[in-house]
Amino acid sequence: MDFFFENIVLISIAFISGGLLIWPLLTKNIGVKRLGTAEATTMLNRQNGILIDLREDDDLSSGIIPQAERIPSSILLKKREEFDKHKKKFQDKKNQNKPIILMGNKGSAVSVVGKLT
């Protein structure tokens, strides 16, 4: 028990640093739902969802999706006003937001852009 009281500062630093290491893992995908192919197709077809391709030009070797709005993630992450301009396209005449499906090779870019929406 004396060890605990004599080293309370070191023990608290250890707990705080451990918490800071775990925090990004816990909050990584808050507000962003990961979809499978079937769910994404259903949202596109039944709810008039919009597919946004966030891949960079270098990553397009596997092909493009003709129905997707192509906006590289680097543009959206650097220019918030560019994102807001594109976001206006995604509202229908009744001013209801359509589901937005983000597609990319890098999950981290999709998560970051997903939090902007």
pLDDT tens readout for residues 3-54: 888 899 999 999 999 998 888 777 666 666 777 778 888 888 888 777 888 7
Domains in the chain, number: 2
Q: What is the value of pTM for the model shown?
A: 0.56
* Residues 78 and 101 occupy one common structural domain: yes
Q: Is 58 buried (19+), middle (13-18) or exposed (0-12) by CB count in 10 A?
A: exposed
* Residues 87 and 69 occupy one common structural domain: yes
* Residues 45 and 97 occupy one common structural domain: yes
* Residues 63 and 110 occupy one common structural domain: yes
Query: Which residues, listed in sequence order, are joined to residue 51 by a DSSP beta bridge?
Result: 101
Tell me which residue range forms the domain holding 26.
1-30
* Residues 21 and 70 occupy one common structural domain: no
| CB-based contacts of 71-78 (< 8 A; 24+ apart in sequence) | 73/104, 73/106, 73/109, 73/110, 73/112, 73/113, 76/113, 76/116, 77/109, 77/112, 77/113
* Residues 8 and 46 occupy one common structural domain: no
